[in-house]
Structure 1
């Protein structure tokens, strides 16, 4: 896991949050799950300083998409990935 510093907007003011995730996508997902985050501006991976400029991301749209994901489908997808990871025949 890598450390990510995320520049966000909370209560109309710029702020920075830190998270540890396996990818930039997981970092975005973490911020989507925090209701008080109103906007995401940039994401920086601490390991190498790589910066993703995501200021045009529609966080409300992403939250709506996430709310409409059937938890059972998501759980089944993770089980499939886990089965592939633990397959000792390859």
Structure 2
């Protein structure tokens, strides 16, 4: 499951990086970009991935709308690995 979480984190970062001008993005768009379904297992993977990215200060959740925005630290990280 840890491999799936890491893969999902990478997909989320890639999606938010590609759409950083349009940022922040909704949870539904992030789930679709990460190729996740509505089932219980995928919801757990998505939640764990988002919490991990927030704890690393790569993304930030908006208080009022619940959308997610990529942070400068994550942009630098993605640009290094590309």
> Taking structure 2 as the reference length, what is the TM-score of the superposition?
0.29
More helix by share: 2
Q: Which has the larger radius of gyration?
A: 1
Greater strand content? 1
